[in-house]
């Protein structure tokens, strides 16, 4: 069981008391050094967690921006068409009616997407049973427009129909972090457009919900794969933001959902595997 800082201090003090008299000063010095390292480690973890949350929010805002870009362009074209129709005396009731319908369709789409995004974060205030396939569908929908700009096809094969216990926004964040990482990999690859895809599948077996996300973005170097879920450090006091998204992803899966996450190279790219115990009783 994980110890609190107070409990750790009590254990260290007890260790000091039971040592031989001639060793107490040495042990006390070591205890003080250990306590300092514990404080430094906790501060570092707090910084990493804060930076990871910021990066995850930036990723989600980026996906939302792509969601809105196409509808806004469509509205812009409709307005330009109305202006041209007025100039060339082609302005009539039928054009106004159809333009109004087209604009409202785009506005309703944007309104629906922001409401969906907002509802996910409002649900994050309390733990609940979460339908995994629903989260995968919603994350894929949010990523599709951003992916389409890079000619990446998302293929869904969802058949888990399982429930996991936790915060909705956390599991949603996990999936978007992985999809964002894959998108960045495609940005730096020369994979032909007709071979760019991401497969998202789910299954349920022996009380475990399994999520598999595979891509065709090319293999990851083995030395990078070994530390894929760890944050990269640029020095003693400076921490890079590279890799923090996947660092946070692993933290959420292991700590919040009591599950596991791993990544392996496949023939065409990388496969992420997430296993989470089903139901409230299984994980908590």
Mean pLDDT per 10-residue section of the chain, whose length is 284 residues: 57 59 63 68 58 60 70 84 85 87 83 72 74 92 84 92 88 88 87 93 93 93 84 44 66 90 93 91 61
Instruction: Give pLDDT, residue 43.
Output: 58
Please give the Cα distance from 164 to 247 (Å, whole number): 21
Phi/psi for 125 (5° steps) reads -80, -15
Q: Is the Cβ–Cβ distance between 191 and 152 less than 8 Å? A: no
- Torsional sign, CA 238, 239, 241, 242: positive
Q: State the Cα–Cα distance between residues 215 and 199, nearest whole angstrom.
A: 6
Domain ranges of the chain: 53-283
What pLDDT, on the 0 to 100 scale, is given for residue 121?
63
What pLDDT is stored for residue 62 in this prediction?
67
Instruction: Could you please state the CATH topology (level 3) that the domain comprising 53-283 is classified under.
Output: Heat Shock Protein 90 (3.30.565)
Q: pTM above the 0.85 mark?
A: no
In the prediction, which pLDDT does 152 show?
Answer: 93
Residues 6+ apart with CB under 8 A from 75: 103, 106, 107
């Amino acid at each position: 069981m994980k110890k609190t800082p107070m409990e750790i201090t009590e254990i260290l003090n007890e260790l000091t008391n039971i040592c031989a008299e001639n060793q107490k000063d040495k042990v006390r010095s070591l205890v003080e050094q250990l306590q300092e390292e514990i404080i430094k480690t906790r501060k570092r973890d707090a910084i990493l967690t804060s930076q990871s949350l910021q990066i995850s929010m930036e990723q989600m805002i980026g996906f939302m921006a792509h969601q809105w870009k196409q509808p806004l362009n469509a509205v812009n074209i409709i307005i330009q068409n109305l202006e041209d129709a007025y100039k060339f005396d082609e302005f009539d009731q039928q054009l106004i009616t159809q333009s109004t319908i087209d604009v409202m369709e785009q506005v309703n789409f944007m309104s629906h997407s922001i409401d969906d995004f907002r509802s996910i974060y409002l649900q994050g205030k309390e733990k609940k049973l979460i339908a995994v396939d629903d989260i995968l569908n919603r994350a894929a929908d949010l990523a599709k427009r951003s992916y389409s700009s890079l000619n990446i096809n998302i293929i869904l094969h969802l058949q888990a129909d399982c429930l996991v216990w936790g915060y909705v926004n956390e599991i949603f964040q996990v999936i978007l972090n992985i999809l964002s990482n894959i998108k960045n990999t495609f940005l730096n690859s020369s994979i032909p457009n007709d071979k760019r895809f991401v497969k998202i599948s789910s299954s349920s077996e022996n009380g475990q919900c399994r999520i598999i996300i595979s891509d065709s973005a090319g293999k990851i170097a083995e030395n990078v794969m070994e530390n894929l879920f760890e944050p990269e450090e640029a020095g003693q006091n400076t921490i890079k933001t590279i890799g923090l998204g996947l660092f946070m992803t692993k933290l959420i899966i292991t700590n919040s959902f009591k599950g596991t996450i791993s990544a392996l190279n496949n023939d065409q790219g990388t496969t992420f595997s997430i296993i989470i115990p089903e139901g409230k009783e299984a994980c908590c």
